[in-house]
Amino acid sequence: MRSGDLAVGRWGARFLGRRFPCATGRGGIGVKTGEGDGVTPMGSHRIEAVFWRMERIWNPYGLRMASFPVNFRPIGLRDGWSDDPADPAYNDLVKRPHRFSHEAMRRADPMYDLVAVLDWNRAPVVPGRGSAIFLHVWRGPRRPTAGCVAFRRDDLRWILAHWRPESRVVIGR
């Protein structure tokens, strides 16, 4: 692990000398066995994309779109994320309505007001290995996720505002 990496464990996260409370999957941190297991996958991951709710966050926390090292765009009205292993677009952004199972990216709650997509099961995508490992806004301290890593809104904003192209999300026990 390098000094600019976000280290995530059962009891929180560290990034650039700061500590952050976070929530991880209901299945703990470990080896993913498949879609829906609730496990946050151990390993070193890159951020591939950052999405935000434009009507809730007109300035996505001071992030500089031109200098951010990944795809960076607002969440569209019809955006969803496929979680159906039978879908040719499995583990990818889709437009709703979508005939396969998917998760809406536009939610009534604030969980996806700011979302960073990790490279888990992305190149190549293996159907059923697990989809959509995100960094997102939490529902509350120690309230488990479906496998993602969740932070307080301001903490996630700070982390992404200080992200560097060489940074990684390193998830361990």
Helices H, strands E: what count in the chain? 1, 16
pLDDT of residue 142: 81
Q: What is the pLDDT of residues 118-165, one digit of tens each?
A: 999 999 999 999 999 999 999 998 899 999 999 999 999 899 988 888
- Confidence grade of residue 58 (pLDDT, cut at 50, 70, 90): low
DSSP summary character for residue 76: P
Q: What is the pLDDT of residues 10-23, one digit of tens each?
A: 889 999 999 999 99
Q: pTM for this one?
A: 0.93
Locate tokens 């935000």: which residue? 52
pLDDT of residue 64: 54
Mean pLDDT of the chain: 91
Task: Set out the domains of the chain in order of their start, with CATH numbers.
Answer: 6-171 (2.40.440)
Cβ neighbours for 43, distance < 8 A, ≥ 6 positions apart: 170, 171
pLDDT for residue 63 is more than 70: no
Locate tokens 């709703």: which residue? 96
Nearest-angstrom CA–CA distance, 102 and 113? 18
